[in-house]
Amino acid sequence: MSTPPDFDEAAVGPGRRLSLLEGVRVLDLTHFLAGPFGSMVLADMGASVLKLEQLSGDSIRRNPVFFHQGDSAYFMAVNRNKDSIAVDLRTDAGQEILRRLVTGSDVVLDNLRAPQRASLGLSFEDLERINPKIVCCSITGFGSDGPYSDRPAYDLIVEALGGIMSVTGPVGGPSVRAGVPIGDIVAGLYAAIGILGGLQSLRTTGRGTHVDISMLDCQVSLLSYLAQYYLTGGMVASHQGKAHVSIPTYNTFVTKDGREIVIAANTEGMWRSLCQVLGREDLLDDERFAGNAARLAHRDDLVPLLQEEMARHTADELYGALVDAGVPAAPINPVDAVFADPQVLHRDMVVRAPHRGGGDFVTLGSPVKSERSPGEGFRSPPGLGGQTAQVLTELGFDAEEIAELRRAGVVNDG
C-alpha cells in the first residue's frame, strides 16, 4: 500500500461508497478538475459514472508531481469509483456511440462552452431529441450566455473576477488566491447539487432539463454576507486577513510556542468564558468591551490586549482550556496534522482504496455519510478506456464491430 511518510496505516480503514444514487447512470464528458470533482461526488453517493475521454485521455492523467501505478495523484484525487471509455466524438462512428450512451443515461455532465457543445452534437436540444428525460449539466467559466460566455476560464481567473481574491490576504493586501482551487471545486459541488435538483424535477414533471453552472457565478455566490453588506450598506469589503470583518473576537492569535490558534467567541457567553480562561475577568467590566458593537468600535484596543494574553500560553494549553470552557477554538493545522486529527480519522476522511494495478493507496474519504445507505467499497480510478469493450458490448456492438472501431481509431480500450 502506498502511504505518505510516517503515516499510521493501522488508522486507515477502507473507503466506502453510499447507495443513495444507486441506479442513476451518469455520462461524464468532463476533464481536468471542476467536472470530475462533481461527478466523483455523485459516484461516491452510488451513481454509476462512465467517464468518456478523448483517445489520449484526460490531461490530468499525466499531471506531475506524484504518481501511483502510472496514475497521477491529481487524477486519482477526483476520479475514483468511475469507469472509462475512450471515443473520438469527431467521427460519425463516435457520434453513434454517443447517441447510444445518451439513450441509456440519466445524466450528462460536460464542461464545454455552448459553441463547442453545438459542434459536437452535445447541446441540450440535441441530447433531448435522443433522450427526452435526460438531465444535462454544463460547467463553464462564465455560463452559456452573456458577454463572457465564449471565454475560457481557470480557477485563478474566476477567483479574481468574482471578488474572492480581493478579500483574501493580509489586511491591506496583497491579494492572494485561496489555498485550494475553490473556483473549480465549488463549481463541481454546485453542479452535483444542480443535477440532484434536475433529477427531482424529472420525477415531478417527467421531462429532462439543462443545468447551467458558471464558475464565476459560483464565486460571486461565496461573497455571501460580504455581498449583502455592500448591497445593503454600501460597504466594499477588503482583505480579511485572519480576522472577521464585524466580530473582533473571531480572530487568529499567536501562542507562546509560535503556533497560531483561531478563536470564535461569537456570543456574550463565549466572551465571558474567554475572559475567564485568560484570567482577565476585569475586561467584563470594561465599558469599551460591553457588547459586540462596543468591542468592534474598540477593536484596535481589544485585539492587541488579547494577543498579549494568548502569548502567555502554549497552543495546546490554550486549545484545551478554551474547548473545555465552551469557546470554539482550534490550532491552525498543517496538512500532516489534519490527517492525524482523531476526529478526521474517526469520520473516515482518510481511507484505503484499491488500485487496478494492484494493492491499495491512501486517499480522502467522502464527506457524505448515511447510516441507512452504506453501499459498497471504493473502486479504483479507471484506466484509460478500461471499460470501452464492455460498454460497447452493452450498447449492442458485436465483437467484429468493436474490432473495426478499434482499427479505425474511433475508440481506445487501453
| Residues with active-site annotation | 184
Q: Is there a contact between 84 and 26 (Cβ–Cβ < 8 Å)?
A: no
Residue type, 124: F
Q: How far is CA 341 from the centre of its chain?
A: 21
- Cα–Cα nearest to 375, from 355, 348, 395: 348
- Cα–Cα nearest to 264, from 248, 240, 286, 282: 248
Q: Where are the alpha helices (DSSP H) in 175-250?
A: 182-205, 215-221, 224-233
What is the rounded CA–CA span in Å between residue 409 and residue 414? 12
User: What's the grid cell of residue 144?
Assistant: 452559456
- End-to-end, the C-alpha distance of the chain in Å comes to 24
Q: Is there a contact between 180 and 237 (Cβ–Cβ < 8 Å)?
A: no
- 181-184 long-range Cβ contacts below 8 angstroms, 24+ apart: 181/33, 181/155, 182/155, 182/219, 182/222, 183/34, 183/153, 183/154, 183/155, 183/156, 183/157, 183/158, 183/159, 183/215, 183/218, 183/219, 184/32, 184/33, 184/34, 184/37, 184/155, 184/215
